[in-house]
Chains A and B, each alone.
Chain A
Amino acid sequence: MSYEVLNSVLTLNNVSWIAFGVLLGYVVGVIPGLGKGTAVAVSIPITFYLSPLTGIAYLIGIAKGSTAGSAVSAILLNTPGEPSSAPTALDGYPLSQKGQASKALKMGLFASVIGDFFATLLLIFLAAPLAEYALLFGPVEVTAILLFSLTFIAALSGDSLIKGLIAGLFGLLFSTVGMEIETATVRFTFGILELFDGLSLIPVAIGMLAVAEMMVQLGGLEALEHQQKILKGNIKSINQSISWEEWKLCLPAIVRGTAVGSTVGILPGLGASVASFLSYGLAKKAAKDPSRFGKGAIEGIAAAESADNAVVPSSLVPLFALGIPGSVIAAILIGAFIIQGVTPGPLMFVQQPELVNGIYLSMICASLLLLLIGFFGQKVFSLLSLVSLRLIIPSVIFFCSIGAYLQGGGIIGVWLILFFGIFGYLAKKLDFSFVTFLIGFVVGPQFELSLRQAIAITPTYEHLLKHPIAIIFILITIIAIWKIGSKKSKKV
């Protein structure tokens, strides 16, 4: 890493924005109902005013902070800020009821930071070599890989393979709105001039993630307030430190959790929830006395949080190396990269190595800031979990509208958040994966372009035989659909 990179990252401006991102993410994570997707989507318009490095680092800071912060409401309220923190609540909440909330929160934070830090190192060491291979891929291979990623994500996110695939196809369909580049044909604009440039990712993401989530939360206001009332009486906890004996119990769980989270994060579509539940299950299996789990075992928190936080950096591996988003955060980050005039993918390592190194260093910086902010702000953040959603929802809707207006091409952006808010709400309620939809929407233009090129290059099946990598990915896609589909229908 060159001196110039260090100089560009360790400026007061850059570090302040990363710290602000981590702080904002942590606050959002603590408040039940607000997730990292919401926070990152709403914050994207601000990055327009920042340099590429600062903007991306700020968003990654939000994602990291939010993932760690969601443990606070899981431990104190038994209401995970995000689904991936649900296993944290299994042992965190019983510990909190025993009056050991401070200890549980500290272990949650330390495990989060360790998991996040080592997964960031993995991203640094893995993305560049993978990107070198990716540069050898042509349109046929890219089409096959995108097809594989989309079907894999569709198959794994949600309970139904069919619904996942439908959601992904809708994402692809919506990505075709606007002027088609090659033939200059206008598609699905219904005479609306503002749609000629296509649907902007920002209002679509804000609608699908933030507005839809607020609509879902409207139904659970009373249940959450009941939990908050219970917590109000127990908030005054004593400052407790973690003993060496407890560290000895937790360290293997953290190492295992980091490994699980990093592996799951690299695979597109599996997501943080799978990682945290898997890690929690493994920790329980490895424990001398598994019956302690679910009743306040501190290593349960360590296992879940380390895996949950390791997913964020490692899910950026496919984005950086192949240009394919493997998670919602990665999909939204593509929007931020595009705003900054950067195309994520293997060419980024060749064309903008300083930016890539700067992002890496900023991510390490964010991990350290996460530790400091989380540690010193623990008491204040605990109080934040008591903030009523009745105050949060109007604020989020208001800032969503502003963000959509600024980055969505004017008032059409607000129309879009309304449409995609309702669309996302229905998708969430009916179990159509919004993750697959968004990823389909993001990769849509690239998929269409490479599909056209692939058809032109390989007019017959014989031509396809010259592309063994593509054949392998097509076969894996078919096998994955077959295996996962039959497994899911058996489960049903």
Chain B
Amino acid sequence: MNVNNKSDFITSIILIFTGIIFYFIIIPQEIVLEDEAIIGPDLLPNICIILITFLSVLLFLKSINKEIQNENNDEENSTIYDNPMMLNVKSDFSIIEVKRVFLLSLSILISILLFIYVDVLISSIFLILSCCVVCGLKKIWIIISLSAGLILLAYFLLYQVLGTAVG
């Protein structure tokens, strides 16, 4: 199966399930209709979810069709590309990229928790330092001067120029 079709295939299944969960569980729970209005507040969310589910089904069918076409093409071309390495399509998501994205998201998440439970300064320092580490910065003096520079710049901009207090 082609990687793009594979991602379309998986995405469409996730979206179909999301649509069903939204339609039957989340919308009835989260939009409580007080009275019988002709045009209820759930009109647009329901329209959106029904259309998303319908389009996801179309995407699913399309990805299956493409898959069948690709399999036929693969059979036709098997004599030319008999080396399995040549048929190995490179994934859109590289492992290193996914790892970095995960670590960056985790850094933001931890800095939010530090902001809530500890202190704004510690949260800011942690956010910059962890982002530097995720990006692969190794020289300590660059990391320290970048952190100090950014925090001082934010302090100058927020407190001195704009007069906003954060914390």
Residues of A that sit less than 8 Å from B by CB = 46, 49, 160, 162-163, 165-166, 169-170, 172-173, 176, 180, 182-183, 185-190, 211, 214-215, 218-219, 221, 389-391, 393-395, 397-399, 401-402, 405-406, 411, 414-415, 417-418, 421-422, 425, 429-430, 444, 447-448, 451-452, 455-456, 489, 492
Report the separation of the CA atoms of residues A218 and B104 in the bound assembly, to the nearest whole angstrom: 9
A residues less than 8 Å from B154 (CB atoms): 398-399, 402
Chain B binding surface SS class: helix
The distance from the CB of A75 to the nearest CB of chain B, in whole angstroms, is: 26
Q: Which of B11, B38, B66, B136 contacts A492 (CB 8 A)?
A: B66
Q: How many B residues touch A, CB cutoff 8 Å?
A: 62
Q: Could you list 12 further interchain pairs (A-B, Cβ under 8 angstroms) beyond the known A166-B56, A397-B107?
A: A160-B59, A169-B55, A180-B41, A186-B32, A188-B45, A389-B135, A390-B137, A393-B131, A399-B150, A402-B154, A455-B39, A456-B39
The distance from the CB of B7 to the nearest CB of chain A, in whole angstroms, is: 6
Q: Which of B15, B40, B127, B132 contacts A401 (CB 8 A)?
A: B127
The distance from the CB of A47 to the nearest CB of chain B, in whole angstroms, is: 11
Report the separation of the CA atoms of residues A173 and B23 in the bound assembly, to the nearest whole angstrom: 12
Q: In the complex, are the beta carbons of A219 and B44 less than 8 A apart? A: no
B residues less than 8 Å from A170 (CB atoms): 48, 52
Q: In the complex, are the beta carbons of B131 and A397 less than 8 A apart? A: yes
A residues less than 8 Å from B124 (CB atoms): 398
Q: In the complex, are the beta carbons of B30 and A190 less than 8 A apart? A: yes
**7 smallest beta-carbon distances between A and B, as pairs:** A219-B97, A394-B131, A180-B41, A185-B41, A218-B100, A390-B135, A173-B48
A residues less than 8 Å from B127 (CB atoms): 394, 397-398, 401
Contact mask for chain B residues 120-139; partner A; CB cutoff 8 A; 1 contact, 0 none: 00001001100110111100
Indicate whether A391 sits within 8 Å of B146 (C-beta atoms), given known contacts A169-B52, A430-B7.
Answer: yes
B residues less than 8 Å from A390 (CB atoms): 132, 135-137
Q: Which of B55, B66, B136 contacts A166 (CB 8 A)?
A: B55
Residues of B that sit less than 8 Å from A by CB = 7-8, 11, 15, 26, 30-34, 37-45, 48-49, 51-52, 55-56, 58-59, 62, 66, 92-94, 96-97, 100-101, 104-105, 107-109, 111-112, 115-116, 124, 127-128, 131-132, 134-137, 142, 146, 150, 154, 158, 162, 164, 166
Q: Which of B31, B112, B128 contacts A185 (CB 8 A)?
A: B31
Q: In the complex, are the beta carbons of A183 and B111 less than 8 A apart? A: no
A residues less than 8 Å from B58 (CB atoms): 162
Q: Which of B8, B11, B142 contacts A391 (CB 8 A)?
A: B142
Q: In the complex, are the beta carbons of A176 and B44 less than 8 A apart? A: yes
Report the separation of the CA atoms of residues A218 and B112 in the bound assembly, to the nearest whole angstrom: 21
Q: In the complex, are the beta carbons of B104 and A397 less than 8 A apart? A: yes
Report the separation of the CA atoms of residues A148 and B96 in the bound assembly, to the nearest whole angstrom: 41
A–B Cβ pairs within 8 angstroms, 23 of them: A160-B59, A163-B59, A165-B51, A170-B52, A173-B45, A183-B34, A187-B30, A211-B108, A214-B104, A218-B100, A394-B150, A397-B107, A397-B131, A401-B111, A411-B115, A411-B116, A414-B111, A422-B101, A429-B92, A429-B93, A430-B7, A430-B11, A451-B43
Closest B-chain residue to A445, C-beta based? B44
The distance from the CB of A492 to the nearest CB of chain B, in whole angstroms, is: 7
Closest B-chain residue to A400, C-beta based? B108
Q: In the complex, are the beta carbons of A418 and B132 less than 8 A apart? A: no
Between A163, A169, A190, the greatest number of chain B beta carbons within 10 A of the residue's beta carbon is seen for A169
The distance from the CB of A223 to the nearest CB of chain B, in whole angstroms, is: 11
Report the separation of the CA atoms of residues A207 and B36 in the bound assembly, to the nearest whole angstrom: 37
Report the separation of the CA atoms of residues A332 and B97 in the bound assembly, to the nearest whole angstrom: 28
Q: In the complex, are the beta carbons of B135 and A451 less than 8 A apart? A: no
Q: Which of A173, A189, A218, A489 contacts B135 (CB 8 A)?
A: A218
Closest B-chain residue to A422, C-beta based? B105
Q: In the complex, are the beta carbons of B30 and A406 less than 8 A apart? A: no
A residues less than 8 Å from B136 (CB atoms): 221, 390
Report the separation of the CA atoms of residues A173 and B49 in the bound assembly, to the nearest whole angstrom: 8
Report the separation of the CA atoms of residues A218 and B52 in the bound assembly, to the nearest whole angstrom: 30
Q: Which of B101, B105, B109, B132 contacts A394 (CB 8 A)?
A: B132
Q: In the complex, are the beta carbons of B48 and A182 less than 8 A apart? A: no
